[in-house]
């Protein structure tokens, strides 16, 4: 609607209003001037769609040619360096990965000359380094007097990007309601609390509760369940090394780092799918349940059959419904065939299948992919509750820092150069791990005073400078 691709009918399906009537309908409201500029004054809007993987179906050619044809602002060189896409210029669009397509699509959008830029889920497919870089590039548009509207599920990125927030709530596939505008802190806190004070609307029964402080427990406090020596693994020109470590029962280990530096390889070694070239994983007779990063073709049957096979007799127990079926919102999908599910539905079913199995160690690779913010935090809560309730261990690869803060007891930080070298550190307490990771990114986080959620400090702000000076990159 904001892009002008869809005209609102204002509830009148048979005799939809004219553009002039739409402008009049919003007289005195924020949208009046927007629609007037869009419909009557020729205000130009450019739009980056949500599903970037569909772009090669409608646009063909070399990346460089495609971007140069759209560089109306003469900023392609700057964007290419900031988004690290220069090495892609000679490639065809249809051979790019999801993350590469996302950055190319953002560059193509921001190269256009317009008054308003609309970006739908710009952090999808990106690692946390790329997400922050994209956020910085998008905010750079504001120095040129541009309007920017972003739909985003990563709360840390949304917080960093935004000045104002509209909260959307409702019932998926049934209805949606847009709240009044709020400042970024108030708007995100409204979402966390599930209540809009100025409209007296409660859209969630329970608030989302974050850790008040980093857990005092860390790796090594509980009885060790799995340990490993120093590990090494090589593929062609890529080499990975992992420091020795161990994890105890009842712990959730977050794994953070760039794309392409070995996080998935380490998880696959834990799962027994791959073996190390050097070193060993010492786990004894433990059972492992693994949800891989890429899900296409990994699950067959309808959803109920998949979960019954994984859960066995537990499927009929009330706790299974309360801890897996309901939190992950899969009940309405039970009769659906897996091969017709959307990306988000398939992700939730794969997580449910993983958590349904009897296991000592749960391995989940990017469980937030394709999920909205509500689903991400529901998944994080389910993983954490099952881990603590059953006295088992979980390793979670995740780029969403808010989700990692919500779920993890300790962190493994991976560093390196994508496609060439990777190094995984030993598990560290959450605070130390976050400090290590954020120092490498050169960004700082603080803790919101009301909701306790982590917030990214604006670069160069008083808190940012003070926390960097004292070495407290994680919240204070």
For every residue of 121-176, DSSP letters joined together read: STTTT--HHHHHHHHHHHHGGGGGT-EEEEE-S-HHHHHHH-SEEEEEEEETTTEE
Give pLDDT, residue 144: 86
- Topology at the third CATH level for domain 224-441: Rossmann fold (3.40.50)
Write the pLDDT tens digit of every residue in 29-53.
Answer: 889 999 999 999 989 999 999 989 8
Mean pLDDT value of segment 231-260 = 94
Contact 237/419 with Cβ under 8 angstroms?
yes
What whole-number distance in Å separates Cα of residue 66 and Cα of residue 105?
10
Q: How much is the pLDDT for 413?
A: 96
Q: How many residues does the chain have?
A: 476
Name residues whose C-beta falls within 8 Å of residue 216's C-beta, 6 or more positions apart in sequence: none
Cα separation, 167 vs 253, whole angstroms: 31
DSSP one-letter code for 393: E
**End-to-end CA, the chain:** 41
Distance CA 29, CA 181 (A): 11
Nearest 5°: the CA angle 120, 11, 39 is 55
CB 333 within 8 Å of CB 306: no
Decide if 366 contacts 398 (C-beta within 8 A): yes
Render pLDDT for 316-370 as a digit per residue (tens, 0 to 9): 999 999 999 999 999 999 999 998 998 899 999 999 999 999 999 999 999 998 8
Question: For the chain, percent helix, then strand, then coil, each to nearest 5?
Answer: 40, 20, 40
**Domain segments of the chain as ranges:** 19-202, 224-441
Binning pLDDT at 50, 70 and 90, where does residue 211 land? low
Q: Which residues, 6 or more positions from 13, have their beta carbon under 8 angstroms from its beta carbon? A: none
Distance CA 135, CA 159 (A): 10
Q: How far apart are CA 9 and CA 235, in angstroms?
A: 56
Q: State pLDDT tens for residues 394-427.
A: 999 999 988 998 899 999 999 999 889 999 999 9
pLDDT at residue 476, rounded to an integer: 56
pTM: 0.86
In the chain, the percentage of residues whose pLDDT exceeds 70 is: 97
Cβ proximity of 467 and 457 under 8 Å: yes
The pLDDT score that the predictor gives to residue 221 is 56
Residue pLDDT, tens place only, 65-109? 999 999 999 999 999 999 999 999 999 999 998 899 999 999 999
User: To 10 degrees, what angle do helices 63-70 and 98-111 make?
Assistant: 20
Q: Is residue 233 over pLDDT 60?
A: yes
- Per the CB < 8 A criterion, the answer to whether 154 and 402 are in contact is yes
The beta-strand segments (E) located in 136-285 are: 147-151, 164-171, 175-183, 195-196, 201-202, 224-228, 231-235, 238-242, 245-248, 252-256, 281-282
Give the architecture-level CATH label for domain 19-202: 3-Layer(aba) Sandwich (3.40)
In the numeric block, the tokens 């904001």 are attached to 2
139-186: pLDDT as tens digits = 988 888 899 999 999 999 999 999 999 999 998 889 999 999 999 999
CA distance 200 to 217: 40
Q: Is residue 364 within 8 Å of residue 351, measured between CB atoms?
A: yes
């Amino acid at each position: 609607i904001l892009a002008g691709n869809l005209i609102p009918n204002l509830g009148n399906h048979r005799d939809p209003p004219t553009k002039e009537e739409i402008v009049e309908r919003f007289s005195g409201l924020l949208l009046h001037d927007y629609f007037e500029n869009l419909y009557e004054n020729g205000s130009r809007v450019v739009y980056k769609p949500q599903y970037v993987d569909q772009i090669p179906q409608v646009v063909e050619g070399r990346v460089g040619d495609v971007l140069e044809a759209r560089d109306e602002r003469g900023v392609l060189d700057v964007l290419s360096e900031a988004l690290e896409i220069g090495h892609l210029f000679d490639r065809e669009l249809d051979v790019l990965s999801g993350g590469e397509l996302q950055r190319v699509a953002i560059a193509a959008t921001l190269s256009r000359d317009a008054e308003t830029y609309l970006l739908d889920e710009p952090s999808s497919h990106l690692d946390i380094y790329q997400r922050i870089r994209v956020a910085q590039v998008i905010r750079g548009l504001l120095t040129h007097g541009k309007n920017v509207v972003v739909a985003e599920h990563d709360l840390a990125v949304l917080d960093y990007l935004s000045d104002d927030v509209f909260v959307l709530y409702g019932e998926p596939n049934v209805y949606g309601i847009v709240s009044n505008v709020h400042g970024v802190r108030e708007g995100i806190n409204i979402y966390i609390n599930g209540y809009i004070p100025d409209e007296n609307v409660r859209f969630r029964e329970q608030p989302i509760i974050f850790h008040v402080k980093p857990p005092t427990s860390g790796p090594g406090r509980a009885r060790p369940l799995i340990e490993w020596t120093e590990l090494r693994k090589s593929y062609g020109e890529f080499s990975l090394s992992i420091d020795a470590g161990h994890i105890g029962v009842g712990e959730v280990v977050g794994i953070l780092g760039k794309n392409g530096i070995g996080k998935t390889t380490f998880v696959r070694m834990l799962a027994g799918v791959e073996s190390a070239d050097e070193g060993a994983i010492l786990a004894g007779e433990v059972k492992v349940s693994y949800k891989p990063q890429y899900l296409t073709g990994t699950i067959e049957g309808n959803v109920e059959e998949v979960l019954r096979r994984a859960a066995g007799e537990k499927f009929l127990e009330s706790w299974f419904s309360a801890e897996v079926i309901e939190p992950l919102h899969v009940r309405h999908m039970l009769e659906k065939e897996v091969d017709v599910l959307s990306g988000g539905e398939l992700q939730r079913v794969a997580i449910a299948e993983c958590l349904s199995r009897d296991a000592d160690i749960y391995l989940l690779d990017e469980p937030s992919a394709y999920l909205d913010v509500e689903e991400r935090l529901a998944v994080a809560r389910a993983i954490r509750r099952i881990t603590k309730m059953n006295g088992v261990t979980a390793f979670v690869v995740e780029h969403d820092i808010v989700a990692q803060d919500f779920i993890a007891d300790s962190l493994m930080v991976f560093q390196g150069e994508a496609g060439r070298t990777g190094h995984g550190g030993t598990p560290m307490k959450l605070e130390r791990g976050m400090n290590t990771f954020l120092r490498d990114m050169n960004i700082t986080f603080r803790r919101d005073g009301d909701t306790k959620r982590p917030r990214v400090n604006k670069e160069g702000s008083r808190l940012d400078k003070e926390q960097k000076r004292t070495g407290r990159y994680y919240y204070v």
